[in-house]
Amino acid sequence: NVDLALETSNQRVTGTISTANWSSSLIAELATTNRASAAYTILIPPAPLGSSNSAPGTGYILVTNHSGTVTLTGAAADGASFNQTVAISGNGDVPFYVPLYKNTGMIAGWINFAGASPVGTLSWIKESGATGFTNYNINLVGSAWTNPAPNVPAISLTGGTLELSGADLTAPLDYTVSVSNNNTLVFPGASAGTVSGSINPRTGQLKVSFPDGKQTTATGAILQNVNMGGGFFTNKVGDGSLSLHP
C-alpha cells in the first residue's frame, strides 16, 4: 500500500509504503531552482560506543559541486567508496543513499546544506555474517570549503599532531606536523621519505603515506572551520584511524 499527502506549506510530499509485515516513511521535497555553487567537506565519525565490528576510523564525503544538484564522493571508514549525484531541495536537504558491499549494505540519511556548515545523521549498515553491523544515528561533522589562494595553506596549522592508530599498529604513530604554503604536510624530525602527506586545495581531500612494514596510504578530509581533519586506512589485518589536529 502507498499513501501520499501533499504538504503545500512545507512544499513536500509525505506518506508511507507498507505491506502486512512492514512500513516505511516517504518524504519528497521540492527541488531548488537556486543555481548558486559551493563546496563542502564532511566527516563521518566512528560509530557510537557499543557498536560492534564497525571500523574505528573516520569516513569522509567531498561535495565538489552544488548548483541545483549535489555531487558527493568519498568513502566509509572501511574503504568502501561511493559516488552520488542528487538534486537538492529548496530547504537545503539532500537525500543521501549509496548501496555498498555488492548490495548487502548501505549508507543512508539526510544532509542539510542550508546553514554555514552541512549537518545530518546517517545510518551505516553491513549485512555480512559475523563481520556485519548496523550503526544508526551517526552525526556528521561538516565545513564549507574555500579553495586557498596560490601559496596560501588551506588551513593554518603549525606544530600540530598527526596520529595513526589501529589495524596492525602495536601502538599509535604520532607525528608533529605543519601545513606548508603549497599544502604539503611537513613533519619536522621525521626521517626523510618515511611519512608524507598533502591536502588537495580544490576538494579538501587529505592523503598521508606512512611506514607500516611497507608504505601505507591513509585518506580523509579537512574541515577548514576547525583547522583539523580525519580519515582512515586499511590493510590485511584490519582498519585504522587517522587524526590531524592542532
How far apart are alpha carbons 84 and 73 in whole angstroms?
6
**Dihedral sign, CA of 88, 154, 203, 233?**
negative
pLDDT in tens, 60-108: 999 988 778 899 999 999 999 999 999 888 888 999 999 999 999 999 9
pLDDT in tens, 190-226: 765 689 999 999 999 999 999 887 889 999 999 999 9
Kindly state the cell numbers that stand for 111. Answer: 544532509
pLDDT in tens, 107-136: 999 999 999 999 999 999 998 766 788 888
β-strand 160-166 against 173-179: which pairing, if any? antiparallel
* Residue 49 pLDDT greater than 60, yes or no: no
How far apart are alpha carbons 47 and 134 in whole angstroms?
9
68 CB contacts (<8 Å, ≥6 apart)?
31, 32, 33, 34, 35, 87, 88
The closest of 148, 216, 210 to 183, measured between CA atoms, is 148
pLDDT in tens, 18-32: 887 778 777 777 666
Instruction: Choose the weakest-confidence range: 43-52, 95-104, 175-184.
Output: 43-52
* Residue 48 pLDDT greater than 80, yes or no: no
The closest of 52, 78, 77 to 130, measured between CA atoms, is 52
How far apart are alpha carbons 12 and 64 in whole angstroms?
26
